[in-house]
Structure 1
């Protein structure tokens, strides 16, 4: 019967993940939030309350959450391992300042501020300090996965958040020691912190030194056998051993997995390992997110809703304010500091550990620990939402900063130049070619990052809307030799073409199209010439292929010319005659 129950729970997990997660993806709310909500629904605090109404809800409820949590924790190990695998020690060194500066300040300020807020609310010293330490740390799994979903891990925000999270993992030992000290009247909290930091440093250095002497020989041995199964088995062994060592020393097991990833990133097998581990990580990490959702009891939340809402508001406001302050002191730009503070403002999985230890040792009461755990879990559920909100605020702030620094203000005296609308990858390439020919040009973009990057490279790029005629006029539109439309958004690119054609009827307009259909709409809007991006890429690939399989260069060029003209005819709504100019293969 136990095996049947386990099989049913696995089936419930797969069904819930298969329905809720794709729905959240479709709504663009993220996979992480989908798993968390799915966990709330099928957990004992969700459908579990409806079992007395109908026994059918019992079949859709996961009751043994503890059994699944063990597997879910493995997902965190694999996540941190893959992050370490992508980072390497050299790249980790580049975020060392952020880790120590921003990370240390964030933990210290957040702990102190949350402690002060709890003390002002009437809690005793021990309770307040436990809250400060438990809620100061953020969820490594949720934050990193949310950043990865939005492709932000490689940005300044992603690097800073990762540095802070690594530092937070290193603070696990000092915090655990302090919780133990609080249960012993008269012990020194300050000495406990120093001792904990020293232990963490020694363990990390020991794992790295031991790993560097063992990991490479082991991986070379596995690689020499040519056995893929042995390679994966040794990789899993390294992850588990590193996690076991750090866990036994009181550190996070996830930190050990991260160090294992860094060690393996120095080997030639890291790309193969990354591909092999990815499916394990995704499945187990989804299970972890669901188990977090399962810890939330909807009935308990409703019963204490005013207290929980007030506590969440205080938690988010305190961590946002002092997180932003710490990041600004660490000299992070305003927009990046705002987004990073938002993504780190929730609590983390380690809050469960701290509160459980504190309740077991009698430092806080069981009732307070349960309430605090619920608040931590809900804040974790809201972490992806806060990250998305932070990203929006940061973009607006960055746009204002860019407009203040590089906004279009007055006629700059441009003449006989090219105006480029959109300065992404395509627009930047056009600008380089114009520079090589010493042709004057200026560009507009609404992405603040593009504007700032271009300014650093010495490019003449302004923050502004290329669909507004008054902005184009300030860049000397009536004196421009030509316009180039490279905006990513299809609707905006068509609007820019119509605006130019309406206000400057004789203008020469070249536009980049995403597809042939989009190209036809751009021509209808008034573009003189349109280049479908997908078409040119496919033609280049086809040309290389024809050349490699033996066709003469002249025949290849003629084939491509015919295909290009055929596509252009289709865009213009004319007949397609692909075989009309087809030369013989023997050329």
Structure 2
């Protein structure tokens, strides 16, 4: 008991230290978990391979839960709409990379089973690291970012058939040759556990397997709703969690009875429940377990990485890692060009996906356990995958350098800016969700607008709805002047890029001191920057909706509709005045928490707000009593 508690304490302690540090450095949680495992395993020796191996069976369930959640997020209709990129970009990348790796591995003398395993493992990229980095850098909506997302989504789906196909290449006579030259015979696990297909002829096993899959499909489609309604009637929140775990664990068990991958069943069940009204409830209940178990899986992988392999022949390992990244990058570059990516988008697509991925660890573990690859070779693959993931931040740094050298116009070579043939009293720069609503309201009131956006897809979508817009960079002076900046009454800055928004406001204010500028802001820091740049009215994108939600809360905890509305109104006016006052104390580049005058005045204003609201409510109660 004490040993189990010690092991658990070591795993949790290193995770809560290493993962936040990794996230703060922009390296992502996956690298943090790997670093934690490396620290307690190969570096400090606090956890041995035997302890890690015992926990691996439980940690692998995090992968099963992750695939269930991936299935929940994949609406079949959305997948059908993305079929061109999924089959084209994603399918081509997996196929070409897998075949290229297989050819290279067989060329150096390895058998077909090892070549197939390597092809599958190295065809994948790191979904966790790439998506997080693209989001943090604001690159998700670029052409390269959207293409990278499509490939990652295809790879996540492809893991399912890979896990099913991989055991077919098992070599039951495979000997596990350790690094010291000793030989360990492969173990036969066929007798372990329950099985519904053991001893059946091939056709019988196939029928039972298909029947089990069919039962899961029917159950997921028709039984989950009445069961959820039954659980809902109990009004016990913990029962939702129990049911969510039962779905995942039960389906995994049923799939294991017929010898199929548990991940395949849970992924299929997730897709069947993607359109269910209980989807979000399932996600919220499963996500914490998935996060902890998946984190434990990566820690164990890190703890089991054998760095003696690296120390014995560092040059060879380095050559494999560099060669893998170069090979994947070459294939990605050619695929990107074939699908019309150019300039920065092509380089982003190429460099962001050139590493191996976290699902490679899953395939390596499966391939080793199923005797597809020997143990010593699996150790080398684990090291190569981990090192390639650790290099990912460097690949994005290389992209940043290339992006600056290419310049701003590289991504728009495919589409030249439109000739603007009309002007209006209102110019709207940016036609995302925020800009669309502003545009609809203003045009519905009978005023002409001139819409500018550098996203060609958004402009084309608007045109299909009969709304005219112009493609081009709104921050370019020639675009603004062509749109009628000299005579416009209002400029609406609704761009996603905070830096570009500030530049646009600064330029417009210099050109037209009398122009009224309405700008969108994400947070208070951007509000202050936009005020400093010269914006007149600044709208925080979540502020008004949050106020309305707060009013609904007040109405349901005891205040009347009038009292809640007055409290909302008071808060709105006080916060608007407070922001204007705090803007005078704010210093660009200095965190608010390190600006004493700002912090002191912010606390004082918060106290003033509370005093105002309490006094207002007391006064209204007194008026009600007197009436």
Taking structure 2 as the reference length, the TM-score comes to 0.70
Determine helix, strand or coil for the equivalent of 1:123: coil
Any residues of structure 2 matched to 1:534-553 within 5 Å, and which?
536-537=544-545, 540=548, 549-551=560-562
Query: 1:75 maps to what in 2?
Result: 62
Structure 1 residues 197-240: Cα deviation after superposition (integer angstroms, max 9, x where no partner): 99998864553245546545544544444454444334323312
Query: Is residue 2:172 matched to residue 1:164?
Result: no
Q: Distance in 2 between matches of 1:113 and 1:230?
A: 49
Query: Is residue 2:131 matched to residue 1:147?
Result: yes
Query: Is residue 2:412 matched to residue 1:403?
Result: yes
Q: Which runs of 5+ in 2 are unaligned?
A: 175-204, 585-604
Structure 1 residues 534-556: Cα deviation after superposition (integer angstroms, max 9, x where no partner): 66456655777889824399989
Q: Distance in 2 between matches of 1:145 and 1:565?
A: 38
**How far has the Cα of 1:321 moved from its partner?**
4.1
Query: Is residue 2:127 matched to residue 1:126?
Result: no
Contact kept? 2:22, 2:32, Cα under 8 Å: yes
**How far has the Cα of 1:40 moved from its partner?**
1.6
CA separation of 1:389 and 1:524: change in aligned 2, threshold 3 A: closer
Contact kept? 1:421, 1:487, Cα under 8 Å: yes
Query: 1:54 maps to what in 2?
Result: none
Query: 1:460 maps to what in 2?
Result: 469
Aligned with 1:287 (options 270, 290, 296): 296
Query: 1:435 maps to what in 2?
Result: 443
**How far has the Cα of 1:69 moved from its partner?**
1.4
Aligned with 1:356 (options 368, 374, 394): 368
**How far has the Cα of 1:113 moved from its partner?**
0.9
CA separation of 1:344 and 1:217: change in aligned 2, threshold 3 A: farther
Structure 1 residues 166-209: Cα deviation after superposition (integer angstroms, max 9, x where no partner): 233213333321344997xxxxxxxxxxxx99999886455324
Contact kept? 1:508, 1:528, Cα under 8 Å: yes
Aligned with 2:34 (options 36, 41, 44): 36
Contact kept? 1:88, 1:266, Cα under 8 Å: yes
Q: Distance in 2 between matches of 1:220 and 1:398?
A: 57
Contact kept? 2:428, 2:491, Cα under 8 Å: yes
Structure 1 residues 219-272: Cα deviation after superposition (integer angstroms, max 9, x where no partner): 454444445444433432331232234345554322222223234446543333
CA separation of 1:231 and 1:454: change in aligned 2, threshold 3 A: same
Q: Distance in 1 between matches of 2:172 and 2:337?
A: 33
Query: Is residue 2:383 matched to residue 1:371?
Result: no
Query: Is residue 2:427 matched to residue 1:419?
Result: yes
Contact kept? 1:403, 1:464, Cα under 8 Å: no
Q: Distance in 1 between matches of 2:398 and 2:260?
A: 32
**How far has the Cα of 1:123 moved from its partner?**
1.7
Contact kept? 2:147, 2:349, Cα under 8 Å: no
Query: 1:191 maps to what in 2?
Result: none
Query: Is residue 2:52 matched to residue 1:65?
Result: yes
Query: 2:317 maps to what in 1?
Result: 308
Determine helix, strand or coil for the equivalent of 2:428: strand
Q: Distance in 2 between matches of 1:571 and 1:499?
A: 24
Contact kept? 1:420, 1:442, Cα under 8 Å: yes
Query: Is residue 2:483 matched to residue 1:483?
Result: no
Contact kept? 2:432, 2:458, Cα under 8 Å: yes
Contact kept? 1:339, 1:393, Cα under 8 Å: no
Contact kept? 2:505, 2:517, Cα under 8 Å: yes
CA separation of 1:490 and 1:94: change in aligned 2, threshold 3 A: closer
**How far has the Cα of 1:73 moved from its partner?**
0.6
Query: 2:250 maps to what in 1?
Result: 241
Contact kept? 1:130, 1:354, Cα under 8 Å: no
**How far has the Cα of 1:289 moved from its partner?**
1.6
Aligned with 2:508 (options 500, 524, 530): 500
Q: Distance in 2 between matches of 1:27 and 1:446?
A: 31
Q: Which runs of 5+ in 1 are unaligned?
A: 49-57, 184-195
**How far has the Cα of 1:114 moved from its partner?**
0.9
CA root-mean-square deviation: 4.9
Taking structure 1 as the reference length, the TM-score comes to 0.74
Q: Distance in 2 between matches of 1:572 and 1:167?
A: 51
Query: 1:52 maps to what in 2?
Result: none
Structure 1 residues 135-155: Cα deviation after superposition (integer angstroms, max 9, x where no partner): 35537xx52586378666996
CA separation of 1:395 and 1:180: change in aligned 2, threshold 3 A: farther
Structure 1 residues 89-141: Cα deviation after superposition (integer angstroms, max 9, x where no partner): 55555566766666654443333211222244x324436634544435537xx
CA separation of 1:429 and 1:284: change in aligned 2, threshold 3 A: same
Contact kept? 1:423, 1:443, Cα under 8 Å: yes
Contact kept? 1:118, 1:131, Cα under 8 Å: no
**How far has the Cα of 1:326 moved from its partner?**
6.5
**How far has the Cα of 1:564 moved from its partner?**
8.2
Q: Distance in 2 between matches of 1:103 and 1:366?
A: 30
Contact kept? 1:451, 1:463, Cα under 8 Å: no
Q: Distance in 1 between matches of 2:543 and 2:228?
A: 44
Range 343-352 or range 310-319, more displaced: 343-352
